[in-house]
């Protein structure tokens, strides 16, 4: 299948079975796409900000770690010279990069010191996966702080 055909199929997918329209993934995607900052309770916003600051500290804790610095160097090399239009921060050195390489480097840095948050019910580190991507996309899209917080919650 060609790229055009694959892209068309991905963007124009119509389920064969009407019952699939109630699939949990569709429900979750609709919630995430329409979540408005004003609908988020104040304690949830405050907790989100606290978790983000905690994640940022974990990411900065990865600065200087050989594997993280190696990955950051790879990202700079693979991306080429920094472009003024690169919209995203790499938090360990405040360099600019593409959304992809910034998210990858920030995720690695925040996971390195193993001080990230843990959801005890799932033994999962949600901040390590969610915050680097939402930060990169918020910067790339020029999102407001309110939009950034809503995206982190979604």
Instruction: Encode pLDDT of 80-104 as tens digits.
Output: 656 667 889 999 998 888 999 999 9
In a 3-state reduction of DSSP, which class is residue 87?
coil
Task: Give CA 47 to chain center in angstroms.
Answer: 17
pLDDT score at 78: 80
| Residue 19 forms part of a structural domain | yes
In a 3-state reduction of DSSP, which class is residue 17?
coil
Q: Look over the chain and give the mean of its residue pLDDT values, rounded to a whole number.
A: 82
| Residue 2 forms part of a structural domain | no
How would DSSP label each residue in 75-141?
Answer: HHHHH-SPPTT--EEETTTTEEE-HHHHHHHHHHHHHHTS-S--BTTTTB-HHHHHHHHHHHHHHHH
| Residue 134 forms part of a structural domain | yes
The CB-side HSE value for 125 (13 A sphere, CA atoms) comes to 17
pLDDT score at 86: 85
Residue 27 lies in domain:
15-153
The mean pLDDT of 13-30, rounded to a whole number, is 68
**Residue 60 · residue 108 · CB < 8 Å:** no
| Residue 5 forms part of a structural domain | no
**pLDDT over 50 at 4, yes or no:** no
| Residue 3 forms part of a structural domain | no
The total domain count for the chain is 1
**pLDDT over 60 at 1, yes or no:** no
| Residue 1 forms part of a structural domain | no
Q: Compute and round to an integer the Cα radius of gyration of the chain.
A: 18
| Residue 93 forms part of a structural domain | yes
**Could you tell me the pTM of the whole model?**
0.77
């Amino acid at each position: 299948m060609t790229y055009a055909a694959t892209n068309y199929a991905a963007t124009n997918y119509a389920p064969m079975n009407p019952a699939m329209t109630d699939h949990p993934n569709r429900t979750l995607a609709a919630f995430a796409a329409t979540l408005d900052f004003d609908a988020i309770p104040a304690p949830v916003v405050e907790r989100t900000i606290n978790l983000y600051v905690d994640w940022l500290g974990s990411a900065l804790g990865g600065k200087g770690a050989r594997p993280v610095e190696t990955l950051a160097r790879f990202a700079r090399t693979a991306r080429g010279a920094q472009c003024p239009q690169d919209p995203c921060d790499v938090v360990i050195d405040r360099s600019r990069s593409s959304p992809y390489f910034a998210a990858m480097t920030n995720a690695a840095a925040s996971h390195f010191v193993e001080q990230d948050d843990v959801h005890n019910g799932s033994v999962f580190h949600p901040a390590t996966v969610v915050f680097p991507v939402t930060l990169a996309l918020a910067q790339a899209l020029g999102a407001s702080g309110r939009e950034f917080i809503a995206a982190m919650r979604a």
